[in-house]
């Protein structure tokens, strides 16, 4: 244990601090996920509308998110907003803004994909059975859309958690940064800490994301459209 540098985490409150760092990452991603899921579905429904202005706006929004690395967006919001507007946006808030901006686009695209994947005959059959508009959506369209959408949106959660590791680059003290601090503080007493601590951080991220991806995979298989 000494040689691998894992022992550092059992000294004092180091282990607890690392977990608190993990919680900071998870908190940012959970808030962003909540915003992305709700707003994303609304924007996604908007995207299926054929209005030309809406089309151009949503298309442009999607392309921006598709081409800009999240890190660049983080820099723009964190450094740019101060420069251009004189706002002092703190790092954690910038992170939530950026990840929500990104997540809403992703979620909207997924929602749009799920909605347009419902074949037209489903609407027509519903009408032929005498269901009215509200019943058609509640009983036929929404259940089918959800089946396609839920596994994909669960995947979005793991991607969100992974992406939060970027926030250390704008100065949020999250799990990776705490790891770095622990390594630096114990440079003399355990020189190999870099291996152990980063291995543990790696595993922590894995443990946070893996169960979620398993659930997504399971649901995808179970709800696969024949």
Contacts to other proteins by CB under 8 A: 5, 66-72, 75-76, 79-80, 82-84, 158, 162-166, 168-169, 176, 179, 183, 191-192, 194-195, 197-199, 201-202, 205-206, 209-210, 213
CB-based contact 94:23 (threshold 8 Å) = no
Closer of 151 and 179 to other proteins (Cβ): 179
* Least Å from the CB of residue 171 to other proteins: 12
CA separation for the pair 40, 23 (Å, rounded): 24
Closer of 82 and 132 to other proteins (Cβ): 82
* Least Å from the CB of residue 4 to other proteins: 8
Q: What are phi and psi of 4, to 5 degrees?
A: -85, -15
Q: Enter the tokens of residue 29.
A: 């991603």
Q: Enter the tokens of residue 59.
A: 């298309």
* End-to-end Cα distance, the chain: 51
The DSSP line for 47-87 is HTS--HHHHHHHHHHHHHHHHS-HHHHHHIIIIIHHHHH--
* Least Å from the CB of residue 106 to other proteins: 12
Closer of 142 and 209 to other proteins (Cβ): 209
Closer of 73 and 114 to other proteins (Cβ): 73
* Least Å from the CB of residue 211 to other proteins: 9
The position carrying tokens 């909540």 is 34
């Amino acid at each position: 244990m000494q040689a691998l540098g894992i022992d550092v985490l059992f000294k004092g409150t180091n282990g607890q601090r690392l977990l608190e760092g993990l919680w900071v990452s998870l908190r940012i991603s959970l808030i962003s996920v909540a915003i992305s899921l709700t707003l994303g579905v609304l924007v996604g429904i908007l995207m299926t509308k054929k209005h030309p202005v809406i089309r151009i706006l949503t298309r442009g929004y999607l392309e921006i998110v598709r081409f800009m690395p999240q890190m660049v967006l983080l820099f723009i919001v964190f450094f740019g907003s101060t420069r251009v507007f004189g706002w002092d946006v703190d790092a954690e808030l910038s992170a939530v803004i950026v990840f929500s901006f990104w997540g809403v686009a992703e979620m909207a695209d997924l929602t749009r994909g799920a909605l347009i994947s419902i074949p037209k005959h489903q609407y027509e059959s519903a009408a032929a059975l005498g269901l009215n508009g509200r019943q058609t959506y509640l009983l036929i369209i929404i259940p089918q859309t959800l089946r396609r959408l839920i596994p994909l949106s669960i995947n979005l959660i793991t991607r969100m958690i992974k992406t939060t590791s970027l926030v250390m680059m704008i100065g949020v003290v999250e799990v990776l940064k705490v790891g770095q601090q622990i390594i630096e503080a114990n440079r003399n007493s355990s020189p190999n800490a870099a291996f152990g601590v980063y291995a543990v951080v790696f595993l922590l991220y894995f443990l946070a994301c893996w169960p979620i991806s398993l659930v997504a995979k399971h649901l995808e298989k179970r709800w696969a459209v024949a």
